[in-house]
Structure 1
Amino acid sequence: MNPVDRILLVEDDPRLAEMLTEYLGQSGFRVTHAPTGRAAMDHIHSAEIDAVILDLMLPDMDGLDVCRQLRATSDVPVLMLTARGDAIDRIVGLEIGADDYLPKPFEPRELLARLRAILRRRVDVRHLDTARGSAGASASEEFLRFGRLEIDPAAHAARLDGVSCELTAYQFDLLLVLAKHAGRVLSRDALMDLLKGEPLEAFDRSIDVHMSRIRAAVEDDPKKPRRIITVRGAGYLFAKAQD
Protein backbone atom coordinates (compact mmCIF):
# COMPACT_ATOMS: atom_id res chain seq x y z
CA MET A 1 0.00 0.00 0.00
CA ASN A 2 1.15 3.50 -0.84
CA PRO A 3 1.86 5.28 2.48
CA VAL A 4 0.51 8.59 1.12
CA ASP A 5 -2.88 7.36 -0.08
CA ARG A 6 -5.32 10.27 0.02
CA ILE A 7 -8.60 9.52 1.76
CA LEU A 8 -11.74 11.65 1.72
CA LEU A 9 -13.74 11.07 4.91
CA VAL A 10 -17.37 12.15 4.53
CA GLU A 11 -18.77 12.11 8.06
CA ASP A 12 -20.91 14.67 9.92
CA ASP A 13 -20.12 13.41 13.44
CA PRO A 14 -17.19 15.63 14.50
CA ARG A 15 -15.96 13.29 17.24
CA LEU A 16 -15.95 10.24 14.97
CA ALA A 17 -14.36 12.23 12.18
CA GLU A 18 -11.59 13.49 14.47
CA MET A 19 -10.93 9.99 15.79
CA LEU A 20 -10.80 8.42 12.32
CA THR A 21 -8.66 11.21 10.91
CA GLU A 22 -6.11 10.72 13.69
CA TYR A 23 -6.23 6.91 13.51
CA LEU A 24 -5.87 6.74 9.73
CA GLY A 25 -3.20 9.43 9.79
CA GLN A 26 -1.16 7.33 12.19
CA SER A 27 -1.60 4.42 9.77
CA GLY A 28 0.02 6.34 6.93
CA PHE A 29 -2.94 7.97 5.19
CA ARG A 30 -3.53 11.59 4.32
CA VAL A 31 -7.12 12.30 5.36
CA THR A 32 -9.36 15.17 4.31
CA HIS A 33 -12.63 15.57 6.19
CA ALA A 34 -15.87 16.71 4.57
CA PRO A 35 -18.80 17.12 7.00
CA THR A 36 -21.50 17.35 4.31
CA GLY A 37 -22.33 15.81 0.96
CA ARG A 38 -21.92 19.13 -0.82
CA ALA A 39 -18.47 19.66 0.69
CA ALA A 40 -17.56 16.14 -0.37
CA MET A 41 -18.60 16.72 -3.99
CA ASP A 42 -16.71 20.04 -4.09
CA HIS A 43 -13.56 18.28 -2.89
CA ILE A 44 -14.00 15.36 -5.27
CA HIS A 45 -14.21 17.76 -8.21
CA SER A 46 -11.22 19.84 -7.14
CA ALA A 47 -8.67 17.35 -5.80
CA GLU A 48 -7.28 13.89 -6.48
CA ILE A 49 -8.26 11.21 -3.98
CA ASP A 50 -7.52 7.49 -3.71
CA ALA A 51 -10.56 6.35 -1.72
CA VAL A 52 -13.73 7.69 -0.08
CA ILE A 53 -15.12 6.70 3.31
CA LEU A 54 -18.75 7.73 3.00
CA ASP A 55 -21.35 7.97 5.75
CA LEU A 56 -24.87 7.41 4.41
CA MET A 57 -26.57 9.76 6.87
CA LEU A 58 -25.49 13.32 6.10
CA PRO A 59 -27.19 16.58 7.12
CA ASP A 60 -27.67 18.02 3.63
CA MET A 61 -28.10 15.04 1.32
CA ASP A 62 -28.34 11.26 1.32
CA GLY A 63 -25.01 9.47 1.14
CA LEU A 64 -26.47 7.25 -1.58
CA ASP A 65 -26.94 10.35 -3.74
CA VAL A 66 -23.31 11.29 -3.12
CA CYS A 67 -22.27 7.81 -4.25
CA ARG A 68 -24.42 8.06 -7.41
CA GLN A 69 -22.93 11.43 -8.35
CA LEU A 70 -19.43 10.18 -7.65
CA ARG A 71 -19.90 7.07 -9.77
CA ALA A 72 -21.07 9.20 -12.70
CA THR A 73 -17.55 10.60 -13.08
CA SER A 74 -15.13 8.43 -11.10
CA ASP A 75 -14.27 4.82 -10.23
CA VAL A 76 -12.49 5.78 -6.98
CA PRO A 77 -13.07 3.10 -4.30
CA VAL A 78 -15.92 3.83 -1.88
CA LEU A 79 -16.31 2.36 1.59
CA MET A 80 -19.77 3.10 3.00
CA LEU A 81 -20.50 3.64 6.67
CA THR A 82 -24.09 3.10 7.77
CA ALA A 83 -25.92 3.24 11.08
CA ARG A 84 -29.17 2.24 9.41
CA GLY A 85 -30.56 -1.12 10.41
CA ASP A 86 -32.23 -1.86 7.09
CA ALA A 87 -30.05 -4.07 4.90
CA ILE A 88 -31.68 -2.59 1.78
CA ASP A 89 -29.56 0.56 2.17
CA ARG A 90 -26.38 -1.49 2.07
CA ILE A 91 -27.64 -3.46 -0.92
CA VAL A 92 -28.58 -0.32 -2.83
CA GLY A 93 -25.21 1.21 -1.99
CA LEU A 94 -23.35 -1.77 -3.40
CA GLU A 95 -25.57 -1.85 -6.47
CA ILE A 96 -24.92 1.80 -7.32
CA GLY A 97 -21.18 1.36 -7.08
CA ALA A 98 -19.84 1.24 -3.51
CA ASP A 99 -17.01 -1.27 -3.08
CA ASP A 100 -17.75 -2.32 0.48
CA TYR A 101 -19.78 -1.32 3.53
CA LEU A 102 -19.27 -1.23 7.28
CA PRO A 103 -22.17 -0.93 9.76
CA LYS A 104 -21.86 1.35 12.79
CA PRO A 105 -20.64 0.90 15.43
CA PHE A 106 -17.40 -0.59 14.15
CA GLU A 107 -13.86 -1.29 15.28
CA PRO A 108 -11.31 1.11 13.71
CA ARG A 109 -9.07 -1.86 12.93
CA GLU A 110 -11.82 -3.41 10.81
CA LEU A 111 -12.32 -0.15 8.92
CA LEU A 112 -8.57 -0.01 8.31
CA ALA A 113 -8.54 -3.61 7.02
CA ARG A 114 -11.43 -2.96 4.65
CA LEU A 115 -9.89 0.29 3.42
CA ARG A 116 -6.58 -1.41 2.72
CA ALA A 117 -8.41 -4.23 0.91
CA ILE A 118 -10.21 -1.95 -1.56
CA LEU A 119 -7.05 0.08 -2.12
CA ARG A 120 -5.03 -3.08 -2.68
CA ARG A 121 -7.51 -4.29 -5.29
CA ARG A 122 -7.20 -0.95 -7.07
CA VAL A 123 -3.39 -1.16 -7.05
CA ASP A 124 -3.53 -4.77 -8.30
CA VAL A 125 -5.72 -3.70 -11.22
CA ARG A 126 -3.38 -0.84 -12.14
CA HIS A 127 -0.35 -3.10 -12.03
CA LEU A 128 -2.18 -5.67 -14.12
CA ASP A 129 -3.15 -3.07 -16.71
CA THR A 130 0.42 -1.75 -16.84
CA ALA A 131 1.82 -5.24 -17.30
CA ARG A 132 -0.64 -5.95 -20.09
CA GLY A 133 0.14 -2.66 -21.79
CA SER A 134 3.87 -3.41 -21.79
CA ALA A 135 3.28 -6.95 -23.03
CA GLY A 136 2.03 -5.72 -26.41
CA ALA A 137 0.62 -8.61 -28.38
CA SER A 138 0.12 -10.75 -25.28
CA ALA A 139 -2.66 -8.41 -24.13
CA SER A 140 -4.83 -9.40 -27.08
CA GLU A 141 -4.29 -13.08 -26.27
CA GLU A 142 -6.08 -12.60 -22.99
CA PHE A 143 -9.19 -11.17 -24.67
CA LEU A 144 -12.08 -13.47 -23.70
CA ARG A 145 -15.17 -14.16 -25.79
CA PHE A 146 -18.18 -16.19 -24.71
CA GLY A 147 -20.80 -16.03 -27.42
CA ARG A 148 -22.17 -12.47 -27.44
CA LEU A 149 -20.22 -11.53 -24.30
CA GLU A 150 -16.73 -10.07 -24.70
CA ILE A 151 -14.38 -9.48 -21.78
CA ASP A 152 -11.35 -7.29 -22.44
CA PRO A 153 -8.88 -7.43 -19.53
CA ALA A 154 -6.53 -4.86 -21.10
CA ALA A 155 -9.32 -2.27 -21.36
CA HIS A 156 -10.91 -3.44 -18.10
CA ALA A 157 -14.23 -3.60 -19.97
CA ALA A 158 -16.99 -6.06 -20.77
CA ARG A 159 -19.35 -5.78 -23.73
CA LEU A 160 -22.57 -7.60 -24.58
CA ASP A 161 -23.50 -7.42 -28.27
CA GLY A 162 -20.87 -4.70 -28.57
CA VAL A 163 -22.50 -2.52 -25.88
CA SER A 164 -20.40 -1.71 -22.81
CA CYS A 165 -21.59 -3.28 -19.56
CA GLU A 166 -21.85 -0.88 -16.62
CA LEU A 167 -19.72 -2.44 -13.88
CA THR A 168 -17.59 -1.06 -11.08
CA ALA A 169 -13.90 -1.97 -11.07
CA TYR A 170 -14.51 -4.61 -8.41
CA GLN A 171 -17.48 -6.09 -10.25
CA PHE A 172 -15.39 -6.36 -13.41
CA ASP A 173 -12.67 -8.13 -11.41
CA LEU A 174 -15.26 -10.62 -10.15
CA LEU A 175 -16.52 -11.23 -13.69
CA LEU A 176 -12.97 -11.69 -14.99
CA VAL A 177 -12.06 -14.20 -12.28
CA LEU A 178 -15.19 -16.21 -13.00
CA ALA A 179 -14.57 -16.12 -16.77
CA LYS A 180 -10.95 -17.22 -16.39
CA HIS A 181 -12.22 -20.22 -14.45
CA ALA A 182 -15.17 -20.94 -16.75
CA GLY A 183 -16.73 -24.31 -16.09
CA ARG A 184 -15.48 -24.43 -12.49
CA VAL A 185 -17.56 -23.79 -9.39
CA LEU A 186 -15.92 -21.10 -7.25
CA SER A 187 -16.92 -20.71 -3.62
CA ARG A 188 -17.06 -17.30 -1.98
CA ASP A 189 -13.83 -18.11 -0.13
CA ALA A 190 -12.14 -19.03 -3.43
CA LEU A 191 -13.32 -15.78 -5.00
CA MET A 192 -11.95 -13.79 -2.05
CA ASP A 193 -8.60 -15.57 -2.37
CA LEU A 194 -8.40 -14.96 -6.12
CA LEU A 195 -9.32 -11.30 -5.64
CA LYS A 196 -6.86 -10.86 -2.76
CA GLY A 197 -9.70 -9.58 -0.60
CA GLU A 198 -10.01 -9.53 3.16
CA PRO A 199 -11.74 -12.68 4.49
CA LEU A 200 -14.35 -10.71 6.44
CA GLU A 201 -17.78 -12.20 6.99
CA ALA A 202 -19.85 -9.12 6.20
CA PHE A 203 -17.97 -8.41 2.99
CA ASP A 204 -18.29 -12.07 2.03
CA ARG A 205 -22.07 -11.63 1.97
CA SER A 206 -21.73 -8.56 -0.26
CA ILE A 207 -20.32 -10.74 -3.03
CA ASP A 208 -23.88 -11.92 -3.63
CA VAL A 209 -24.99 -8.32 -4.14
CA HIS A 210 -22.15 -7.63 -6.54
CA MET A 211 -23.01 -10.81 -8.41
CA SER A 212 -26.60 -9.61 -8.82
CA ARG A 213 -25.29 -6.38 -10.33
CA ILE A 214 -23.03 -8.30 -12.71
CA ARG A 215 -25.96 -10.43 -13.81
CA ALA A 216 -28.04 -7.33 -14.45
CA ALA A 217 -25.29 -6.17 -16.80
CA VAL A 218 -24.41 -9.38 -18.66
CA GLU A 219 -27.52 -11.57 -18.58
CA ASP A 220 -30.48 -11.30 -20.97
CA ASP A 221 -32.76 -12.18 -18.06
CA PRO A 222 -31.04 -11.72 -14.67
CA LYS A 223 -33.83 -13.70 -12.99
CA LYS A 224 -33.00 -16.70 -15.19
CA PRO A 225 -29.20 -16.45 -15.54
CA ARG A 226 -27.46 -18.53 -18.20
CA ARG A 227 -23.95 -17.10 -17.92
CA ILE A 228 -23.36 -16.91 -14.16
CA ILE A 229 -25.01 -19.83 -12.40
CA THR A 230 -25.54 -20.18 -8.66
CA VAL A 231 -24.66 -23.66 -7.44
CA ARG A 232 -26.59 -23.90 -4.20
CA GLY A 233 -24.34 -24.53 -1.21
CA ALA A 234 -21.18 -24.39 -3.33
CA GLY A 235 -20.73 -21.02 -5.04
CA TYR A 236 -20.86 -19.65 -8.57
CA LEU A 237 -20.14 -21.12 -11.99
CA PHE A 238 -19.40 -19.19 -15.18
CA ALA A 239 -20.84 -21.18 -18.10
CA LYS A 240 -18.39 -22.08 -20.86
CA ALA A 241 -21.08 -22.48 -23.53
CA GLN A 242 -22.97 -19.24 -24.12
CA ASP A 243 -25.06 -17.84 -26.95
Structure 2
Amino acid sequence: MSQTRVLIVDDDPKIRNVLRMCLETEGYEIAEAGDAAETLSLVAKLPFDLITLDINLGTISGFDVAREIRQSSDVPIIMVTGKGDIIDRVVGLEIGADDYIVKPFHLREVLARVQTVLRRAKANAKPAISESTSAPDKVSRLVFDGMTAHLEHFELLNRQGVPCELTSGDFKLLSVFLNNPKRPLTRETLLDLIGGIEWTPLDRTIDNQVARLRKKIERDPSHPKLIKTVRGIGYVFAADVETI
Protein backbone atom coordinates (compact mmCIF):
# COMPACT_ATOMS: atom_id res chain seq x y z
CA MET A 1 0.00 0.00 0.00
CA SER A 2 1.41 3.39 -0.98
CA GLN A 3 2.09 6.01 1.67
CA THR A 4 -0.16 9.01 2.11
CA ARG A 5 1.64 11.93 0.46
CA VAL A 6 1.47 15.36 2.10
CA LEU A 7 2.84 18.62 0.70
CA ILE A 8 4.00 21.10 3.36
CA VAL A 9 4.02 24.70 2.10
CA ASP A 10 5.60 27.39 4.30
CA ASP A 11 8.14 30.16 3.69
CA ASP A 12 9.83 29.34 7.01
CA PRO A 13 12.15 26.30 6.67
CA LYS A 14 12.09 25.77 10.44
CA ILE A 15 8.32 25.30 10.45
CA ARG A 16 8.54 23.02 7.41
CA ASN A 17 11.13 20.92 9.23
CA VAL A 18 9.00 20.64 12.39
CA LEU A 19 5.93 19.62 10.40
CA ARG A 20 7.97 17.20 8.31
CA MET A 21 9.36 15.39 11.37
CA CYS A 22 5.93 15.31 12.99
CA LEU A 23 4.15 13.84 9.97
CA GLU A 24 6.96 11.49 8.93
CA THR A 25 6.85 9.98 12.42
CA GLU A 26 3.23 9.04 11.66
CA GLY A 27 4.22 7.37 8.41
CA TYR A 28 3.32 10.09 5.91
CA GLU A 29 5.43 10.71 2.79
CA ILE A 30 6.41 14.39 2.77
CA ALA A 31 7.29 16.93 0.10
CA GLU A 32 8.08 20.60 0.83
CA ALA A 33 7.68 23.95 -0.91
CA GLY A 34 8.70 27.40 0.25
CA ASP A 35 6.83 29.64 -2.19
CA ALA A 36 3.89 29.76 -4.59
CA ALA A 37 5.81 28.85 -7.76
CA GLU A 38 7.40 25.80 -6.18
CA THR A 39 4.05 24.72 -4.77
CA LEU A 40 2.19 24.92 -8.07
CA SER A 41 5.04 23.16 -9.87
CA LEU A 42 4.94 20.23 -7.43
CA VAL A 43 1.13 20.01 -7.57
CA ALA A 44 1.30 19.83 -11.36
CA LYS A 45 3.87 17.01 -11.26
CA LEU A 46 2.79 14.83 -8.33
CA PRO A 47 -0.49 13.65 -6.83
CA PHE A 48 -0.93 14.66 -3.20
CA ASP A 49 -3.39 13.40 -0.62
CA LEU A 50 -3.27 16.61 1.40
CA ILE A 51 -1.60 20.04 1.40
CA THR A 52 -0.78 22.21 4.42
CA LEU A 53 -0.62 25.74 3.05
CA ASP A 54 0.77 28.86 4.73
CA ILE A 55 -0.92 32.16 3.86
CA ASN A 56 2.24 34.29 3.90
CA LEU A 57 4.27 33.18 0.88
CA GLY A 58 5.59 36.53 -0.29
CA THR A 59 4.23 38.33 -3.33
CA ILE A 60 1.71 35.56 -4.05
CA SER A 61 -0.38 34.62 -1.02
CA GLY A 62 -1.51 31.20 0.06
CA PHE A 63 -5.06 32.33 -0.73
CA ASP A 64 -4.06 32.81 -4.38
CA VAL A 65 -2.30 29.45 -4.43
CA ALA A 66 -5.40 27.75 -3.02
CA ARG A 67 -7.58 29.39 -5.66
CA GLU A 68 -5.24 28.20 -8.41
CA ILE A 69 -5.18 24.63 -7.07
CA ARG A 70 -8.97 24.57 -6.78
CA GLN A 71 -9.30 25.28 -10.51
CA SER A 72 -8.24 21.71 -11.28
CA SER A 73 -8.11 19.72 -8.06
CA ASP A 74 -10.13 18.98 -4.92
CA VAL A 75 -7.08 17.80 -2.96
CA PRO A 76 -7.68 18.57 0.74
CA ILE A 77 -6.05 21.83 1.86
CA ILE A 78 -5.36 22.87 5.44
CA MET A 79 -4.43 26.54 5.77
CA VAL A 80 -1.63 27.03 8.32
CA THR A 81 -1.31 30.68 9.22
CA GLY A 82 -0.11 33.08 11.87
CA LYS A 83 -3.14 35.25 11.32
CA GLY A 84 -5.84 34.57 13.88
CA ASP A 85 -8.36 37.04 12.53
CA ILE A 86 -11.73 35.41 11.80
CA ILE A 87 -11.85 37.12 8.37
CA ASP A 88 -8.72 35.29 7.24
CA ARG A 89 -10.20 32.00 8.40
CA VAL A 90 -13.47 32.60 6.57
CA VAL A 91 -11.69 33.67 3.38
CA GLY A 92 -9.59 30.50 3.46
CA LEU A 93 -12.65 28.30 3.86
CA GLU A 94 -14.65 30.15 1.21
CA ILE A 95 -11.99 29.71 -1.46
CA GLY A 96 -11.95 25.97 -0.92
CA ALA A 97 -9.72 25.18 2.06
CA ASP A 98 -10.93 22.24 4.11
CA ASP A 99 -9.61 23.39 7.49
CA TYR A 100 -7.20 25.85 9.08
CA ILE A 101 -4.64 25.92 11.88
CA VAL A 102 -3.45 29.13 13.53
CA LYS A 103 0.19 29.56 14.56
CA PRO A 104 1.55 28.96 17.11
CA PHE A 105 0.10 25.47 16.98
CA HIS A 106 0.48 22.28 18.96
CA LEU A 107 1.73 19.30 16.93
CA ARG A 108 -0.99 17.08 18.37
CA GLU A 109 -3.57 19.49 16.95
CA VAL A 110 -1.86 19.37 13.55
CA LEU A 111 -1.93 15.56 13.55
CA ALA A 112 -5.58 15.47 14.63
CA ARG A 113 -6.65 17.90 11.91
CA VAL A 114 -4.61 16.13 9.22
CA GLN A 115 -6.12 12.77 10.17
CA THR A 116 -9.66 14.19 10.27
CA VAL A 117 -9.37 15.88 6.88
CA LEU A 118 -7.86 12.76 5.31
CA ARG A 119 -10.71 10.62 6.70
CA ARG A 120 -13.19 13.11 5.29
CA ALA A 121 -11.51 13.04 1.87
CA LYS A 122 -11.52 9.24 1.86
CA ALA A 123 -15.21 9.20 2.71
CA ASN A 124 -15.93 11.73 -0.05
CA ALA A 125 -14.30 9.38 -2.56
CA LYS A 126 -17.22 6.98 -2.15
CA PRO A 127 -19.98 7.33 -4.78
CA ALA A 128 -22.76 9.66 -3.76
CA ILE A 129 -26.10 7.97 -3.13
CA SER A 130 -29.67 9.09 -2.84
CA GLU A 131 -31.26 9.09 0.58
CA SER A 132 -33.85 6.76 -0.87
CA THR A 133 -32.91 3.13 -1.47
CA SER A 134 -33.68 3.28 -5.16
CA ALA A 135 -30.73 3.92 -7.48
CA PRO A 136 -31.05 5.94 -10.70
CA ASP A 137 -31.23 4.10 -13.99
CA LYS A 138 -27.62 3.53 -15.09
CA VAL A 139 -28.38 4.53 -18.68
CA SER A 140 -30.43 7.59 -17.78
CA ARG A 141 -29.60 11.23 -18.23
CA LEU A 142 -30.91 13.93 -15.92
CA VAL A 143 -31.82 17.29 -17.41
CA PHE A 144 -32.19 20.51 -15.42
CA ASP A 145 -32.17 24.18 -16.44
CA GLY A 146 -30.79 23.34 -19.87
CA MET A 147 -27.95 21.19 -18.50
CA THR A 148 -27.58 17.42 -18.83
CA ALA A 149 -25.97 15.12 -16.27
CA HIS A 150 -24.76 11.60 -17.14
CA LEU A 151 -24.40 10.21 -13.62
CA GLU A 152 -22.90 6.89 -14.67
CA HIS A 153 -20.23 8.68 -16.73
CA PHE A 154 -19.54 11.44 -14.20
CA GLU A 155 -20.24 13.97 -16.94
CA LEU A 156 -22.16 17.24 -16.94
CA LEU A 157 -22.94 19.10 -20.16
CA ASN A 158 -23.57 22.82 -19.88
CA ARG A 159 -26.30 24.76 -21.65
CA GLN A 160 -24.23 24.78 -24.85
CA GLY A 161 -23.64 21.03 -24.71
CA VAL A 162 -20.01 21.42 -23.64
CA PRO A 163 -18.66 19.26 -20.75
CA CYS A 164 -18.21 21.17 -17.49
CA GLU A 165 -15.02 20.80 -15.48
CA LEU A 166 -16.23 19.34 -12.18
CA THR A 167 -14.08 17.82 -9.48
CA SER A 168 -15.15 14.50 -7.99
CA GLY A 169 -16.42 16.40 -4.93
CA ASP A 170 -18.49 18.72 -7.13
CA PHE A 171 -20.08 15.80 -8.94
CA LYS A 172 -20.87 13.84 -5.77
CA LEU A 173 -22.69 16.85 -4.33
CA LEU A 174 -24.52 17.50 -7.61
CA SER A 175 -25.58 13.84 -7.76
CA VAL A 176 -27.12 14.07 -4.30
CA PHE A 177 -29.06 17.20 -5.26
CA LEU A 178 -30.28 15.67 -8.54
CA ASN A 179 -31.46 12.55 -6.74
CA ASN A 180 -33.32 14.68 -4.18
CA PRO A 181 -34.79 17.64 -6.11
CA LYS A 182 -37.00 20.17 -4.30
CA ARG A 183 -36.32 18.48 -0.98
CA PRO A 184 -34.67 20.65 1.69
CA LEU A 185 -31.55 18.88 2.97
CA THR A 186 -29.67 19.74 6.12
CA ARG A 187 -25.90 20.15 6.04
CA GLU A 188 -25.63 17.03 8.17
CA THR A 189 -27.74 15.04 5.71
CA LEU A 190 -25.66 16.26 2.76
CA LEU A 191 -22.45 15.26 4.53
CA ASP A 192 -23.91 11.83 5.26
CA LEU A 193 -25.02 11.32 1.66
CA ILE A 194 -21.65 12.20 0.16
CA GLY A 195 -19.69 9.94 2.45
CA GLY A 196 -20.74 9.62 6.06
CA ILE A 197 -18.54 12.44 7.35
CA GLU A 198 -18.53 13.49 11.00
CA TRP A 199 -20.23 16.87 11.40
CA THR A 200 -20.21 19.76 13.85
CA PRO A 201 -22.35 22.94 13.81
CA LEU A 202 -19.26 24.99 12.82
CA ASP A 203 -18.35 22.72 9.90
CA ARG A 204 -18.12 24.75 6.67
CA THR A 205 -17.34 21.82 4.35
CA ILE A 206 -20.75 21.70 2.68
CA ASP A 207 -21.00 25.49 2.46
CA ASN A 208 -17.65 25.57 0.65
CA GLN A 209 -18.64 22.78 -1.73
CA VAL A 210 -22.00 24.41 -2.48
CA ALA A 211 -20.27 27.71 -3.24
CA ARG A 212 -17.88 25.99 -5.68
CA LEU A 213 -20.70 24.09 -7.37
CA ARG A 214 -22.82 27.20 -7.72
CA LYS A 215 -20.00 28.92 -9.60
CA LYS A 216 -20.07 26.12 -12.16
CA ILE A 217 -23.80 25.57 -12.72
CA GLU A 218 -25.65 28.77 -11.78
CA ARG A 219 -26.36 31.41 -14.41
CA ASP A 220 -25.57 34.02 -11.76
CA PRO A 221 -23.78 32.49 -8.74
CA SER A 222 -24.34 35.65 -6.69
CA HIS A 223 -28.11 35.11 -7.07
CA PRO A 224 -28.51 31.32 -7.16
CA LYS A 225 -31.71 29.88 -8.59
CA LEU A 226 -30.78 26.19 -8.66
CA ILE A 227 -29.20 25.54 -5.25
CA LYS A 228 -31.07 27.73 -2.80
CA THR A 229 -30.25 28.31 0.84
CA VAL A 230 -32.99 27.32 3.27
CA ARG A 231 -32.49 29.39 6.40
CA GLY A 232 -32.09 27.34 9.53
CA ILE A 233 -31.99 24.08 7.57
CA GLY A 234 -29.47 23.86 4.74
CA TYR A 235 -30.02 23.76 0.98
CA VAL A 236 -32.58 22.71 -1.60
CA PHE A 237 -32.16 21.96 -5.31
CA ALA A 238 -35.02 24.08 -6.64
CA ALA A 239 -34.95 23.21 -10.36
CA ASP A 240 -37.16 20.65 -12.12
CA VAL A 241 -35.16 17.48 -12.89
CA GLU A 242 -36.27 15.30 -15.78
CA THR A 243 -35.02 11.84 -16.70
CA ILE A 244 -34.50 11.17 -20.41
Query: Smaller-chain TM-score range?
Result: 0.7 to 0.9
Q: Is the 8 A contact 1:113 1:198 kept in 2?
A: no
CA deviations over 1:185-238 (Å, ceiling 9, x no partner): 211111122222232454x23422432332232222334433212221111111
Query: Which has more helix, going by share of residues?
Result: 1
Query: Structure 1 counterpart of 2:148, which letter?
Result: E
Structure 1 SS opposite 2:236? strand
Structure 2 SS opposite 1:32? strand
2:97 and 2:152 mapped to 1: Cα distance?
Answer: 21
Shift of 1:4: 0.7
Which residue number in structure 2 is paired with residue 151 of structure 1? 149
2:82 and 2:211 mapped to 1: Cα distance?
Answer: 24
1:160 and 1:91 mapped to 2: Cα distance?
Answer: 30
Which residue number in structure 2 is paired with residue 198 of structure 1? 198
1:215 and 1:77 mapped to 2: Cα distance?
Answer: 19
Per the alignment, do residues 72 and 224 of structure 1 end up closer, same or farther by CA in structure 2, a change over 3 Å counting?
closer
Gaps of 5+ in 1: 129-137
| RMSD of aligned alpha carbons | 3.1
Per the alignment, do residues 27 and 88 of structure 1 end up closer, same or farther by CA in structure 2, a change over 3 Å counting?
same
CA deviations over 1:156-207 (Å, ceiling 9, x no partner): 34333124445443233222222222232211111122222232454x2342
Q: Is the 8 A contact 2:6 2:52 kept in 1?
A: yes
Of stretches 230-239 and 11-20 in structure 1, the one that deviates more from structure 2 is 11-20
1:1-243 superposed matches below 5 A: 4-59=3-58, 61-96=60-95, 98-105=96-103, 106=105, 107-121=109-123, 123-124=125-126, 139-141=138-140, 143-161=141-159, 162-196=161-195, 197-202=197-202, 204-239=203-238, 241=240
CA deviations over 1:13-48 (Å, ceiling 9, x no partner): 344333322332233321112222232233233434
1:198 and 1:27 mapped to 2: Cα distance?
Answer: 22
Shift of 1:242: 5.9
1:150 and 1:92 mapped to 2: Cα distance?
Answer: 32
Gaps of 5+ in 2: 129-136
Of stretches 85-94 and 4-13 in structure 1, the one that deviates more from structure 2 is 85-94
Which residue number in structure 2 is paired with residue 131 of structure 1? none
Query: Structure 1 counterpart of 2:192, which letter?
Result: D
TM-score, normalization by structure 1 = 0.76
Between the two proteins, the alignment pairs up a number of residues equal to: 228
Q: Is the 8 A contact 1:79 1:101 kept in 2?
A: yes
TM-score, normalization by structure 2 = 0.75
Report sequence identity in percent. Answer: 33
Shift of 1:90: 4.5
